[in-house]
Structure 1
Amino acid sequence: MPMIEAKVTMELPAEKRDVLKAEFGKAISIMGKPESYLMINLVDKQDLYFGGKRLDKGAYVEVKVLGNIDGGAGNRMTAKLCEILEKELGIPGNSVYVSYWGTASWGWNGGNF
């Protein structure tokens, strides 16, 4: 039951949304999770600030999963997300924050896992 939510400073046209969806779908396997249960929320045109300065190109990404977060997988996932965001949107890694959230309970389709 993974969820990736990415908030970015720029506008995301439909074709970029499709590319990000596909790339995030591949990347979630790093966390040992299947794309078949992955939900993605892309939020564009956000005002993000770092060190007191507004970012022209920046991103905040949350990765939420059922279970615990493996530190090694988290490191590899952060590297991959930064790679995707730089390649597709020109966002440098030093303007990307990634947070991880693991939970023991996740609801779906009228019940909890």
Structure 2
Amino acid sequence: MPFIDSKITVPVTEKEKEKIKAELGKAITTLHKTETYLMVGIEDKYDLWLAGKKLEKGAYVSVSLYGSAAPEDYDKLTAQICDLYAKELGIPGDAIYVSYHPVSDWGWNGSNF
């Protein structure tokens, strides 16, 4: 039950959104999850500041998942996310924050797991 929510400073085309969504679907296996229940949110043209300066190209990516993963798996996924956003959107890794939110209670389809 993962959710990957991205806030991105640059405009993102529908084609780019589809590519990013598909690549995140592959990358989520790093946390031993599948794309089957992966939800992805992409908000573009979002204002972000880092070190007091507005970012022309930057992203904040929040990864929520039911349960948790090992620190080395989080590290691998961070690298994959940074590589993906650099390749697809030209956002440098030093302008990307990735946060992880393990969740013990997760609801879906009228009940909780």
Contact kept, 8 Å, 1:2 with 1:64, in 2: the verdict is: yes
Question: What is the CA-CA distance between 1:69 and the residue it aligns to?
Answer: 3.2
Tell me the SS of whatever aligns to 2:62.
Answer: strand
TM-score (norm 1): 0.98
Contact kept, 8 Å, 1:11 with 1:44, in 2: the verdict is: yes
Tell me the SS of whatever aligns to 1:68.
Answer: coil
Aligned-residue RMSD, C-alpha: 0.6
Tell me the SS of whatever aligns to 1:11.
Answer: coil
Contact kept, 8 Å, 1:66 with 1:103, in 2: the verdict is: yes
TM-score (norm 2): 0.98
Equivalent residue, structure 2, for 1:104: 104
Question: What is the CA-CA distance between 1:68 and the residue it aligns to?
Answer: 1.9
Tell me the SS of whatever aligns to 1:12.
Answer: coil
Tell me the SS of whatever aligns to 1:23.
Answer: helix
- Within-5 A mapping of 1:11-26: 11-26=11-26
Q: Structure 1 runs of 4+ off > 4 angstroms?
A: none
- Within-5 A mapping of 1:17-96: 17-96=17-96
CA-to-aligned-CA distance 1:23-57 (integer Å, 9 cap, x gap): 11100000110100000000000010000001000
